[in-house]
Amino acid sequence: MLIEENIPLAPLTTFQVGGPARFFAQAQTLNDVATAVEFARTRGLPLFVLGGGSNLVISDAGWPGMALKIGLSGIEERREDGSMIFDAGAGEEWDKFVARAVACNCAGVECLSGIPGSVGGTPVQNVGAYGQEVSQVIVSVMAFDRRDGQIHELCAEACGFGYRTSIFNTSERGRYILLRVSYALHPGGAPHIEYADLKRHFAGWSKKPALADVREAVRRIRASKGMLITPGDEDCRSAGSFFKNPMVSAAEHEELEKRAAARGLQIPSYPTLESQKKISAAWLVEHSGFGKGYDAGNVGISRKHALAIVNRGEARAADIVDLKEHIQERVEEIWGIRLEAEPVLVGF
Ligand SMILES: Cc1cc2nc3c(=O)[nH]c(=O)nc-3n(C[C@H](O)[C@H](O)[C@H](O)COP(=O)(O)OP(=O)(O)OC[C@H]3O[C@@H](n4cnc5c(N)ncnc54)[C@H](O)[C@@H]3O)c2cc1C
């Protein structure tokens, strides 16, 4: 495995910002992973694991240690107790995996079509969209444990999945390098059509939509929102949604309603969010003065989606962080809620 020096990280991310990695390697095998970990350990360097770079803001100074890109490939499938188990290498492109599952007529990830990044990135923040989350289908993950240098198989329960969280981005952040993820999908299962956008899309259909129809619809809807990486569309030079939908208590919800009423507004009602006691972060951002197309020089808000901070072309990481903080402060001032950023800030 080649270990390179001073490799620019910006081109390896969807935001396309940030400085170089002091050392950089791409792991194609389990042995490569162990070698890179050892390289960093013996030199006392911090190690950062890079997947598809679609949920990252890399600092302008870059990463002072080893950046290890996971390139482990291969997808295998087998029948087990009526399910189809897919064992996918962490370095596989996520959407390629979804395409394969749908082509095999296996339900469970069709609504997660078009999400950029790698298979190994999906358990980290329990990727979700249009009513599906990977935690609903992950059976286990195979991971290199940097604490004991061993490879472990962690069952779904041990991953501690929650809304955009797992142990990998909370209690055990930095400990595990994910090597392979196993998903149990449902052969011949019906597609999941729960979200309003999808229901609207299929409203006039006389036949039942197939998994492939739902995949196509999700990709089309995502493209219209700048949420599908589309060459030439600068609204997708982002990390997708920049803020998580905040969870609120009944008392907080009541307070929010009062503040909205004082401004002649009503908190929008989204049944799927309400059942999880969540408020739309996009609504809060939009109603704090940051509408679609908001311009702050080199950065701004996507013209197609209120929740995506975008690099207008010449942005530095500092510009993104400045806008993030400005939004967080304004939303807190007006609505009393501190929004939590979804992307991972690296090297700050
Ligand atoms: C246009 C756009 C749309 C998006 N839409 C959605 C969406 O609908 N829903 C959603 O949930 N997310 C969405 N995202 C965010 C992002 O695509 C996902 O979070 C994705 O799973 C990140 O995977 P990645 O491989 O790119 O990870 P990276 O961005 O490379 O890394 C993210 C984090 O995961 C860690 N990591 C990555 N791979 C591994 C591994 N093998 N082992 C250990 N740690 C690892 C990294 O260290 C880092 O902490 C979107 C992003 C963009 C740009």
Predicted confidence (pLDDT) per residue in 270-295, tens digit:
776 777 778 999 999 999 999 999 99
pLDDT > 70 in the chain, percent: 99
What sign does the CA torsion over 75, 135, 217, 206 have?
positive
Place of tokens 């990390």: 239
Inter-CA distances, 149 with 119, 146, 175, Å: 22, 5, 10
- Chain centroid, CA 38 distance in Å: 28
Based on the residue annotation, tell me whether 43 is a catalytic residue of this protein: no
Task: Judge if the beta carbon of residue 55 lies within 6 A of ligand 1.
Answer: yes
Contact between residue 90 and residue 51 where contact means Cβ atoms under 8 Å apart:
yes
Does the annotation mark 332 as catalytic? no
Q: In terms of Cα–Cα distance, which of 12, 304, 320 is closest to 312?
A: 320
DSSP assigned state of 205: -
Q: Name which of 45, 44, 87 is nearest 68 in CA terms.
A: 45
- Which residue, 41, 288, 13, 242, is CA-closest to 23? 41
pLDDT tens digit sequence for 304-334 = 999 999 999 999 999 999 999 999 999 999 9
Q: Let me know if 241 is a catalytic residue.
A: yes
Residue 136 is encoded by which pair of tokens? 């609903």
Q: Cβ contacts of residue 43 below 8 Å, gap of 6+?
A: none
pLDDT tier for residue 268 given thresholds of 50, 70 and 90? confident
125 alpha carbon – ligand 1 mean position (Å): 7
Q: Is the CB of 320 under 6 A from ligand 1?
A: no
Centre of ligand 1 to C-alpha 38, Å, is 25
Question: Mean pLDDT of all residues in the chain?
Answer: 96
pTM: 0.96
179 within 8 A of 125, measured Cβ to Cβ: no
Determine how β-strand 176-187 pairs with β-strand 138-145. antiparallel
Task: Return the closest-CA partner of residue 68 out of 137, 21, 123.
Answer: 21
265: pLDDT strictly greater than 90: yes
Share of the chain above pLDDT 90, in %: 94
* Tens digit of each residue's pLDDT (9 = 90 or more) over 129-169: 999 999 999 999 999 999 999 999 999 999 999 999 999 99
Average pLDDT of the segment spanning 175-204 = 96
Higher pLDDT, 251 or 9: 9
Residues 6+ apart with CB under 8 A from 54: 13, 14, 115, 116, 117, 121, 229, 239, 240
Q: What is the pLDDT of residue 126?
A: 97
What pLDDT is attached to residue 277? 79
Catalytic member of 110, 133, 172, 342: 342
- To test the pocket of ligand 1, the residue of 47, 115, 230 to mutate (highest count of ligand atoms within 8 Å of its CB) is 115
Residue 181: pLDDT band with limits 50, 70, 90: very high
pLDDT at 231: 92
Residue 270: its pLDDT value, please? 75
Q: How many CB atoms lie within 10 A of CB 314?
A: 10
Q: CA-CA distances (angstroms) from residue 330 to 84, 113, 333, 339?
A: 47, 33, 5, 10
Give the model confidence (pLDDT) of 21-70 as tens digits. Answer: 999 999 999 999 999 999 999 999 999 999 999 999 999 999 999 999 99
CA distance 151 to 58: 28
Closest residue by Cα to atom 43, ligand 1, is 177
Q: What pLDDT is recorded for position 273?
A: 73
Interatomic CA distance for residues 197 and 226, integer angstroms:
15
Give SS3 for 300.
strand
Mutate to test the pocket of ligand 1, among 26, 32, 55 (most ligand atoms within 8 A of CB): 55
> In the prediction, which pLDDT does 99 show?
98
